[in-house]
A = this chain, B = another copy of it.
Amino acid sequence: MNNRDERILLGHGSGGRLSHDLIKDILLPAFANPALAELHDGARLTAGGAKLAFTTDSYVVKPRFFPGGNIGKLAVCGTVNDLAVCGARPLYLSTGFIIEEGLPVSELREIVLAMRETARLAGVYIVTGDTKVVEKGAVDGMYINTAGIGLMLPHVDISARRVKPGQDIIVSGFLGDHAIAVMSERHGLTLPEKITSDCAPLNGLIQAILTEVPQVAMLRDPTRGGLATTLNEIAADAGLGMILEESAIPVRPEVAAVCDILGFDPLYLANEGKVIVFVEKEYSEKVLTIMKKDPLAASARVIGTVTGQLRGQVALRTTVGGIRLLDMLTGEQLPRIC
């Protein structure tokens, strides 16, 4: 990013390759510090002797209401989940609203109530906030930022450094539901079966896993950029490869059908209620048993393994027996999906 006339593209917010360039070229060098350098979903830090996780996300989803949720529910789930996959117990959230003049108060009320209900479900408190109102046209309705503080769980060390060859890669359920639900609502598509966003707080599920299996090496929620981009990031960080079995990857037939028609790849679609778990094979069954007890992870399964070959790359063994390399998302498949 050294061209003087270069401009920000939608893809710089995709979570994929361009986002990485932006972070690596501009943000990391400017803000360089040990906590940021790890490039997790959240920073791990110490304050007053307490080991904490700290994370933030802004939510610009369009439309604000979609099957399975709204921007408020999403804003709480997203930040709760980012803390949980750091290996932290989410405690406190902040919320910053940027609202376009003219937004119906009733809509704000509905969004705020969804935040309350989701925070209650997740067992977190929204403790501080800010509201800015801008003139018509200066924001598209309403955006929400949430930041969150979590307390690091003891005896747990979630890190790409701990990903090792031979470990299983587990995904907690069907991929792409969130993106397809939002996209179909945005474009007024009627789907053969109603697909709803998977948007949900995962901290209960993740804490159950980590309490029983503290050996878990790595966790991530495959949001923007989807499974493929998330695994590429981890592969790059770990300096290892991954082999996925296409036949094992859970995608609902309805989602696959929409993807076929519209030219999307479900492996790159955003999820808001799924987690990827890296763990030694000997613990896989135990992790799966715990996951399947939770309705949020009833369809959990092993989708692949880590390998010492293919350094930094993710390969898919397709149902017809071929091997396809899955690159990081480049450009932007579905803007404003979260």
Chain A interface (Cβ within 8 Å of chain B)? 1, 3-14, 19, 22-23, 26-27, 30-31, 33, 35-36, 42-43, 45, 47-52, 54-60, 62, 91-92, 94-106, 108-109, 112-113, 115-116, 119, 125-135, 137-140, 143, 145, 147, 149, 151-152, 332, 335-336
Contact = CB atoms under 8 A, between A and B. Distances in A.
A101 B9 CA distance: 5
B49 A48 contact: yes
A108 B143 contact: no
B94 A1 contact: no
Contacts of A101: 7-10
22 contacts: A3-B105, A6-B104, A7-B101, A9-B133, A10-B133, A10-B135, A13-B132, A19-B131, A26-B105, A30-B116, A36-B128, A43-B92, A43-B128, A47-B52, A54-B94, A54-B127, A57-B130, A60-B134, A96-B145, A98-B143, A133-B335, A134-B335
Given A27-B131, A31-B129, A35-B125, 17 more contacts: A7-B103, A8-B104, A8-B105, A19-B131, A26-B105, A30-B116, A36-B126, A43-B92, A47-B47, A48-B51, A54-B149, A55-B128, A56-B128, A57-B130, A58-B96, A96-B145, A137-B140
Nearest to A32: B116
Contacts of A91: 45, 47
Given A47-B91, A56-B145, A99-B13, A8 B108 contact: yes
A13 B131 contact: yes
A279 B137 CA distance: 45
Contact of A50 (B42, B49, B54, B152): B49
Contacts of A8: 99-105, 108, 133
B140 A140 contact: no
Contacts of A22: 131
A115 to B, nearest CB: 7
Nearest to A8: B103
A336 B50 contact: no
Given A26-B105, A50-B50, A130 B58 contact: yes
A230 to B, nearest CB: 15
Contacts of A104: 5-8
B335 A135 contact: yes
B56 A95 contact: yes
B58 A145 contact: yes
Contacts of A138: 60, 62, 139-140, 336
A45 B48 CA distance: 12
Nearest to A119: B31
B127 A36 contact: yes
A51 B22 CA distance: 35
Given A6-B104, A10-B101, A60-B138, A33 B131 contact: no
Contacts of A149: 45, 47, 52, 54, 149
A85 to B, nearest CB: 13
